[in-house]
Amino acid sequence: MKISVIITLKKDVLDPQGKVIHQTLDGMGFDDVNEVRQGKYFEIDTKETDNDKAKAKVEEMCKKLLANLVIENYKIIDPK
Amino acid sequence: MKSSVITFPGSNCDRDMDVALKKFGFKNKMVWHADAELPKSDLVVLPGGFSYGDYLRCGSMASKSKIMQSVINFANSGGMVMGICNGFQILVETGLVPGVLLRNKYLEFICKNVFVKINDKKNKYFKNVNNEVLELHIAHNEGNYFCTQDQLKQIEDNNQIAINYCDENGKIEDQFNPNGSIKNIAGIFNKEKNVLGMMPHPERMIDTSLSGEDGSLFFKNLINNLK
């Protein structure tokens, strides 16, 4: 089963990379952008076949390694 | 005095630290990250470098390596643990010291000498250092210290800020902040002050002909405080 995770920076954490991407988009003519925030995306292929169990495992992975909860939020995408 | 320097895959300041510690009288051992047990030590150092290629977040993988459980136990039982640069990043990922280190504010790798002001001397790292200001070297891409407002309050209430970026006279201002760190923080302690994480490299300032002497002051003082 494949489970996806999106990690984003929390709202009050400065994202200089997102800012530069925003500026560059602006320079390219995409001048209606309000803000860009950069994040991370993971695809985890697990042997677990039970949906809930797999999600619980991935949540544990997020808390222990994939995200740093001081600055980041994680969102687990429901497997299809 | 016995010290241990942990080598992770991608550490590159481990041998400099070994040279520095030995120069000032430590009997130092290099310890591989995959080892389970720490040798008997009075000081454990997590050195600078790029452990695990800085993948995911700097220090995140190293903080989960086998030796780290022993290092965490050692720290929790009052042992002296010092993390320099990438070692500081590893320390924050273990949770031994609060906060995180983000990309530098202006997205550039910074490699230069800086001045830092010692904020607290009631600890074994800085007790009896005569200077208020040290000139040390920094070289990092992710040294922008960040923590939540709640954490900052705790850090300040417990006097956990070890050193702040400043000018040569010890003036702590925004213009002397190289990387965007909250409150110009260059190094912090855990609550008990036996764990120190800092971005500057004292081991690069131990030879007058190559750099400066302020790292020598730090190490000479440190070994005396541990005796």
Q: What is the DSSP letter of B174?
A: G
Sequence-ordered alpha helix ranges (H) in chain B: 14-23, 66-76, 86-94, 149-157, 214-226
**Strand, helix or coil for residue B99:** coil
Instruction: Name which of B107, B146, B180 is nearest A71 (Cβ-Cβ).
Output: B146
User: Which DSSP string do the residues of A24-74 spell out, in sequence order?
Assistant: HHHHTT-TT------EEEEEEE-S---HHHHHHHHHHHIIIII--TTTEEE
Antiparallel, parallel or unpaired: β B2-7 and B43-46: parallel
Q: What is the mean pLDDT of chain B?
A: 97
- B95 in contact with chain A, both atoms CB, cutoff 8 A: no
Q: Which of B64, B100, B103 sits opposite A70 (nearest CB)?
A: B100
| pLDDT confidence of residue A80 | 64
Instruction: Check if B60 contacts A (Cβ < 8 Å).
Output: yes
Whether B150 has its CB under 8 Å from any CB of chain A: the answer is no
Q: Give CA–CA dist A45/A43, Å, rounded.
A: 6
Please confirm, yes or no, whether B166 is among the known catalytic residues. no
Given the residues B13, B58, B85, B166, the one annotated as active site:
B85
- Over residues A35-78, the pLDDT tens digits come to 999 999 999 999 999 999 999 999 999 999 999 999 999 999 98
Cα B109 → chain centroid? 18
Residue A16 has pLDDT above 90, yes or no: no
Q: How confident is the model at residue B148 (pLDDT cuts 50, 70, 90)?
A: very high
- Measured over the CA atoms of residue B220, residue B68, residue B182 and residue B190, the dihedral's sign is negative
B146 touches chain A (CB under 8 A): yes
Mean pLDDT of B88-117: 96
Burial label, B189 (beta-carbon count in 10 A; 0-12, 13-18, 19+):
buried
Cβ distance A19 to A50 under 8 Å? no
pTM: 0.93
Contacts of residue B106 in chain A, CB cutoff 8 Å? 16
Task: Give yes or no for B129 touching A (CB within 8 A).
Answer: no
Q: Which of A9-13, B19-23, B48-52 has the lowest mean pLDDT?
A: A9-13
Judging by DSSP bridges, how do beta strands B80-84 and A2-9 pair with one another? unpaired
**Rg of chain B taking only CA atoms, in angstroms:** 16
* Two tokens, residue B44: 């454990």
What average pLDDT score do residues B104-120 get? 96
Q: Tell me the percentage of chain A whose pLDDT exceeds 70.
A: 99
Instruction: Give B153-203 pLDDT, tens digit per residue.
Output: 999 999 999 999 999 999 999 999 999 999 999 999 999 999 999 999 999
CATH number assigned to the domain covering B2-226: 3.40.50.880
CB atoms A14 and B146 under 8 Å? yes
CB atoms within 10 A of CB B64: 15
Domain boundaries, chain B: 2-226
Q: In terms of Cα–Cα distance, which of B124, B121, B120 is closest to B185?
A: B120
Pairwise CB contact (< 8 Å): B148 & A65: no
Pick the CATH number of A2-77 from 3.40.50.300, 3.30.1280.10, 3.40.50.2300, 2.130.10.10: 3.30.1280.10
B57·A68 Cβ contact <8 A:
yes
H/E element, B125:
none
Share of chain B above pLDDT 90, in %: 97
Torsion of CA B112, B47, B121, B156, to 10 degrees: 80
Number of H helices, E strands in chain B: 5, 11
DSSP element (H, E) containing B124: none
CA distance A71 to chain B (A): 8
Q: Does this complex have an ipTM over 0.90?
A: no
Give the integer Cα–Cα distance in Å for A28 and B160. 45
> Given B33, B93, B137, B203, which residue is catalytic?
B203
Q: Is B140 a catalytic residue?
A: no
What is the H or E stretch that residue A17 is in?
helix A16-27
E strand residue ranges, B52-147:
80-84, 100-102, 110-118, 133-140, 144-146
Is B201 tagged catalytic? yes
Asked whether the beta carbons of residue B60 and residue A71 sit closer than 8 angstroms, the reply is no
